[in-house]
Structure 1
């Protein structure tokens, strides 16, 4: 849809989070295509409200693949709950996300993140290539060739048996995401779920299998394991823990629309532990990284 007299215009980077959430919640969803690589049904849409148009991702509940350890039909709500926590911290790690009805039923709708490799795609399923020599925020590299400013996480073998090292950038924006993953109990932080936006932000997507009451943390962001969490992040976590422990706080009631009381209590405990110990956890002995990692 073009921009002209009487036509919608894109919501720009200057739009507030509140404005974006309003467009996502009340706008008309127009399906453009499906992302075929996603494990659950994931549709790329434009959402239009009055004279504003916004690109977004829509995941209907009916398209969720059943999992043995997460209740059916809860993944969309977990995505929204994860966004509410990121927003309450003021970290902006997760793009604006709402739960609403859509063309194929109730589901999660999230603001699309423009990145260097998806901005010019003519269709969501069209392939793209990164510029030669570019190392992504999470990437694979040959042993002995870990780039300056990157942390090695795992040595492994690629699909043709060549040795590789899983690395991620030593970037404070990524470190903030790693801390968020701990309190969210993210069971599936893959490299492909980390996006560097054209606006300079680093965003995490795909939080459908988060916030379980049992320990299920699996992430590629283990580069800060056992290290001290920066003081400004600890202060934010301490404030969040206080809010989660208050029965009168709106955040707790908002989360209760999407996850159980036990899951909220477990979230509060994880947050309090990091706030008090000020340290990142060490990887567990069993499957600390989702596989495949991308």
Structure 2
């Protein structure tokens, strides 16, 4: 998985945190208020996504006004385990009040399908893809939803287990060259099991040594500065649930099976 240098990351975080924020427009497809903005400081200028707390739509199963904090917490946890897949994200004030501000990744115009999640006829699923579920078209003909089984996708699937991500859609994965980015982490860190993802293709597989090392790094970070930072973003029960999830994964030593007692998939899938 590609990595960021500390200098590059620090420069981006500095712009996100202290740069002058200029709103360009609203992303109308989003269910909450999501704004494309530009951050400027001296000669440096980068695009970003600003999600103000006041624009969050209330949800029945997540505490009101907490999604921006969860976005930032997801980035911190990802960094602690060496998952350099979540764009740098900070919490700061903007024209519409406090909110999360995340580096924009991918194209500046339009949306490119990552190609990581596919819908095919059963015999047309390409090599390197694993089946997630079967469905039917309007004529009753069978279809298969599958996702790529690359190392980067598998690493993201493991991160989602740690975060308890309740909304891993195909559109929340962006491919930029040889790099995979993951976005939209507002629905993470619930104390109850909420994982809803299109990346179930690794269910039941054993964790590799490198994957166990990632999980161990998260636990070590939780014994240090990471806990202090997360306490400003999550409540105590959510912090304990995070630690428990990591410990459970290490104890089980494998990706969990697809649950049968609740909905395991996001909607829509893309």
Structure 1 segments unaligned to the other structure (5+ residues): 1-12, 122-126
| Structure 1 position 26 matched with structure 2 position 18 | yes
> Residue 266 of structure 1 corresponds to which residue in structure 2?
241
What's the TM-score once normalised by structure 1's chain length?
0.86
Shift of 1:277: 2.3
8 Å contact kept, 2:80–2:221: no
For 2:253 and 2:42, locate their aligned partners in 1 and report how far apart those are by CA, in whole Å.
Answer: 46
SS for the counterpart of 1:243 is: helix
For 1:68 and 1:96, locate their aligned partners in 2 and report how far apart those are by CA, in whole Å.
Answer: 28
| Structure 1 position 291 matched with structure 2 position 267 | yes
For 1:283 and 1:267, locate their aligned partners in 2 and report how far apart those are by CA, in whole Å.
Answer: 19
For 2:201 and 2:87, locate their aligned partners in 1 and report how far apart those are by CA, in whole Å.
Answer: 24
1:38-97 deviation digits (Å, cap 9, x = unpaired): 111111111111211111111111110100011110000000000000011111121100
Shift of 1:162: 5.1
Q: 1:278 to 1:95 in 2, by over 3 A?
A: same
Shift of 1:24: 0.3
**CA RMSD after TM alignment:** 1.7
What's the TM-score once normalised by structure 2's chain length?
0.93
Equivalent residue for 1:140, pick from 84, 102, 119: 119
The structure richer in helix per residue is 2
Q: How many residues align?
A: 265
For 1:237 and 1:156, locate their aligned partners in 2 and report how far apart those are by CA, in whole Å.
Answer: 34
SS for the counterpart of 1:93 is: coil
| Structure 1 position 51 matched with structure 2 position 43 | yes
8 Å contact kept, 1:235–1:275: no
